[in-house]
Amino acid sequence: MNHQLSLVLQDDLNIEKLGSITPVYNPKDTNHLERRQQQRAISLPMIKVAIVYGNRQFSYGAVTYTLTDKNLRRTPYKRFIDVLRGLRVVCVDGLPNPKIMTAYWHHKTKRKVHR
């Protein structure tokens, strides 16, 4: 699935809006983002899709991007809706050069199926 997602990502012109993605390093937990990605089965291509197509909200000084069915329905990623639904990425800064704090699955959104 990640390979297929990467192939679609290569042809997506909207991804060019994305500058450099950098993780935010906490001195007490230097590899937080990488560890959480691995634990939660979240790849970098998934994070890129969430930042470009996700529903953007501001929360406690951070910018969050959450993927819903509605966000993905009219995109090249519509066949990945079941996989990507509920992915939330938390950033310090938004586009064009997001600094990512963490990524996780928002379970309330993941359970909802809007068809």
Q: How confident is the model at residue 115 (pLDDT cuts 50, 70, 90)?
A: low
What is the pairing mode between strands 99-105 and 62-66?
unpaired
Domain definitions of the chain by residue range: 2-111
pLDDT digits over 7-66, tens only?
A: 898 988 888 878 888 898 888 888 999 999 999 999 999 999 999 999 999 988 899 999
**H-helix or E-strand spanning residue 57:** strand 55-59
* 8 A C-beta contact, residue 56 and residue 31: no
The alpha-helical segments, DSSP class H, found in the chain are 2-11, 32-40, 44-53, 69-72, 81-84, 107-111
pLDDT digits over 50-73, tens only?
A: 999 999 999 888 999 999 999 999
Q: How confident is the model at residue 108 (pLDDT cuts 50, 70, 90)?
A: confident
